């Protein structure tokens, strides 16, 4: 084999490998994006038991508590193209990823109609999962007992009677 054909073969192999790596990156991106999209669809369709199973880092929150809090919230993801826009993977490891995305929202009177921010996702049981705390945050509920959002003031605060 002469030097020219050896060089040509090496270039061909490198091109094939580069193509394989770009396909792998696209597949990973679509897996993260699809997982987040499926999670938001479960939320939008009020399938809260299924949504609970799709979330990571649930802590001490029981399924029953989660479902109750989500039913009390009027906020839900928007439909169709407004559901997720500008999805970007910022960082990805084997079991963790950080994505940046704009999520469209409905049922948020007097509040923004979308949220654009970073989300941590965890790879568990062969699928990517959003964090329960992120869903609670977007829905406007807390993970603490008693639910809802409360305004805490210090005893001597000038704002306590407002």
Strands 96-106 and 114-124: antiparallel
Higher-confidence position of 78 and 109: 78
pLDDT (tens digit per residue) in 47-60: 999 999 999 998 89
Its pTM surpasses 0.85: no
pLDDT (tens digit per residue) in 79-103: 998 999 999 999 999 999 999 999 9
At residue 69, does pLDDT exceed 90?
Answer: yes
| pLDDT in the model for residue 5 | 64
| pLDDT in the model for residue 141 | 87
- 77: CB partners within 8 A, 6+ apart: 40, 41, 43, 44, 83, 103, 104, 105, 106
**For residue 32, what are the CA distances in angstroms to 56, 94, 107, 138?**
14, 12, 26, 19
pLDDT (tens digit per residue) in 12-41: 555 655 554 444 444 554 799 999 999 999
| pLDDT in the model for residue 115 | 93
Which domains are present in the chain?
A: 3-139 (3.10.450.100)
pLDDT (tens digit per residue) in 117-155: 999 999 999 999 999 999 999 998 875 554 443 333 334
């Amino acid at each position: 084999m002469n030097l020219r054909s050896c060089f040509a073969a090496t270039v061909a192999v490198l091109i094939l490998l580069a193509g394989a790596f770009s396909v792998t990156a696209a597949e990973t991106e679509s897996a993260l994006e699809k997982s987040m999209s499926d999670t938001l669809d479960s939320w939008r369709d009020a399938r809260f038991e299924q949504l609970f199973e799709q979330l990571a880092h649930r802590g001490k929150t029981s399924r029953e508590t989660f479902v109750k809090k989500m039913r009390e919230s009027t906020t839900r993801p928007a439909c169709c193209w407004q559901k997720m826009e500008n999805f970007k993977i910022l960082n990805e490891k084997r079991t963790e990823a950080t994505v940046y995305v704009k999520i469209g929202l409905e049922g948020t009177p007097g509040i923004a109609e979308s949220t654009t921010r970073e989300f941590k996702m965890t790879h568990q049981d062969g699928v990517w999962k959003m964090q329960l705390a992120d869903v609670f945050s977007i829905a406007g509920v807390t993970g603490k007992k008693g639910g809802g959002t409360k305004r805490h003031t210090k005893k001597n605060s000038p704002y306590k009677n407002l």
